[in-house]
Chains A and B, each alone.
Chain A
Amino acid sequence: MTEITGDIKSGDYISAGRASKKVKDALKRIGADPAAVRRAMVAAYEAEMNVVIHAQDGTLRAAVTPDTLEVLVSDGGPGIENIEQAVREGYSTAPPEARELGFGAGMGLPNIQRNADRFSIYSEVGKGTRLHFTVFLKAQTEASVHASSVSITPAECKRCLRCLHVCPTQAIRIRDSAPIILPHLCVGCAACRAVCPEKVYDINCPDELPEPDKNATLVVPAALRGQFGRFLSGAALRDTLHAMGWDTVWFSDPWEEALADAVTRYASESNHAGPILSPVCPAVVNLIQVRYPSLLSNIPPFLTALESARNSLHSGHGVFVVPCAAQCSLVQEVNALHPAVAVSPNALLRALTAAIKDCDDGANPPVPSAQEEGRRPKVVAISGVDRVCQFLDEMEDERVNDCGIVALYACDSGCFGAPVWPEHPEVSRYRSMTTERQHHASGRALYRPKPLAPRAGLRLDADMQRAIEKLAQIDRIRDTLPGRDCGVCGSPTCLALAEDIVMNRTDADACVYKKQHPQKPRQKRGKETTS
């Protein structure tokens, strides 16, 4: 990885672009694709110009890896008052001298957005703006974009097939008495893990907490506070973590609250028809991308709380304690500028249990005041993958048109119910309750200016003609199968099996029923056999 830094001087139109040029030279040296270089340069130069025209001095930091370019441009103010307005085309507050030079057409931020593959902006009036974007230097392969963060311990599997039937996107196959996951379908919900009696599934991240260090920010879920058999205030837990060497600790709740506030504001300002799906759960966002792409426009343009926290890390690196695979994937997304690692809550729970014993904070949870309770409008909360799918199905059929803001959580009882936690979800929610306002890290909701796109499935074939033939083949094979969707073959449904056969993911004679009743195809049409 190469890091490049450059200073940007306010009002210096002559030097503007020098930092971008340094980045370009680095990209040329590694032989990056010219089209990607061009996109990177549009974004970098526009970002640099923004500082020259509008801000106090700033810096550009870039990190080049073989696959990505990350750029962070930050300045010392004055900050952008209304980001939504600023990213709108044609909106500009540039002074006349900038306009004379061909700038200030109000195209800067939209241009960055169009040319970057990932883009986020955070601005505080009076303090400054941080603009962060990523350009993929190579076409991303399916596997690298959607690597599943679910790990599998094959030896434990008893082939009970429960996971096969709960997976909302049919991503699981049982092969040779062990499950495999089709990464392009896995959304990182914990449904398989919750249902598995043998603990085959886990989160694919280290089980050991790294050594505490000064430059690290430890980010922990709110649910952690409820896992110690009694009420524990945020302050008590924070003190214990400080004593263990973690100087900077962020709890997730301020970020979640900031998101809830932002969505509430969004809901009151927009006259959006139909339910507004608050992006509270990254697994549900993934699920909508894979299975309900027509509902993507119902998700307000904010990042999930975890992504906002990750993108707000100013210095050093982040250590994120992640309760589910979907959150784990978000943390592990390539971000060379602010490396973040994900660790399993087990590691922290083990380390904390001993330390927490001596901690005297046995008071009862605070009772929230009525005012506190009524701070936000009522949100319809739906949890559990099957309930979530039921709701999204109904929404897709246009049977739900009201409800206002809807919070959908993949885990039963929301993040408190993630299977990783030892305590009962509602008990730990009660214990985690806090009215203390966070002073250490005030959360914020970052805007997601690049709209969510449907997740492209794996094509049946790169060649369209052959893909169509394969589709017909799948239909033919499906008609020869019993349609019981029993899962004994290892595929979740007969249709999935037919596709697996055509895609060479399993043997043509995998269907157990067909082996026992070779003369009994499902329908008349199904006379032909596939073996």
Chain B
Amino acid sequence: MFDALKELVNYFSDPKWSFTITTVVFVAALFWRRLWTNLGGLVMLVGVTLYFVVSMFDENFRLVVAKPDNVPIVMMVYFVGFFVWLSMKKAYDNDERIANGEPTFEKTEANDKIFTWPDLVFSEFICMVILTVLLVVWSIMLQAPLEEPANTAVAPNPSKAPWYFLGLQEMLVYFDPWMAGVVLPSLIIVGLCAIPYIDTNTKGNGYFTFKERRSEIVLFMYGFVVLWCYLIVVGTFMRGPNWNFFGLYEYWDINKVEPLVNVDLSEYIFIKMLGVGLPSFWLVRELPGILLLLLYFVVLPVGLTKLQFFKRYYDDMGASRFYVGIGLFLTMMLLPIKMYLRWAFNLKYLVHIQEFFFNV
């Protein structure tokens, strides 16, 4: 029975399934009030813990999850889960108060000023003591990893970046290094910096709320929880030798062969559809992909302003804020789009100009 269950989990942990499931469940859950109550939180906590405990009996699961350097990722899963729950619970509680015409929970206490000594100073002190104890215990219980001496001649398989960059390394499956390693990370930083200047919504400043800032919260959480944290989990727990996918209970077999026949958009169009062979001049060859990207980044944003939903934002934010914001948004969405194109059509590149290393 357990074996069949493991097979099922293995099957559905494949990124094309687990990513879809994570996205759908995540967005749906944000709008489903009953998860964000004490009972909902407890059920989720017990469920996840039970899953971890039972799974630890599986040798392959244990091998990956119990690696000393992977412990922080298990921690991250718990912490992110807990704080998503906490913030959404507080947000929904406040939304209810606002709907009833009452002040938010924070508002009831905001004008109440209390002395830093002793309240703040002492709670800080207690936090420091607790943290110190936790760190000492953690350090005694778990030895920091130290492998064989560095040897540039023997590359481990898989070679992985530090765990917090594994989301970026996972992006390498879908993008070339210049995108996954340089351009997209830079745009994440730029995008984060731009948030306060793009977001013109004056509500929700200094208190938890969901109703008053739905789009902002869904977008940010989608980026943080799904695209960042989920990809780290995939990159850590489900990528084995040769960066092949391995189910959570699958043995990391170095000889696993994954047939990869990835096809460029230009090959689809010129060879499969038109049957004429690839044009020799790169501009002609890649014209379909270039046009598609122009359509995506130039025509689509302008077109969106005609839609009622986006028009409201356009009017509120003004043209420059709107186009910067939508540009960053579309860049972010390039990742899931490319993922699905890969899974559905084995698409390798939309634009493949090997002459200049310019591949998207």
Same assembly: no
Q: Which residues of A contact B (CB under 8 A)?
A: none
Q: Which residues of B contact A (CB under 8 A)?
A: none
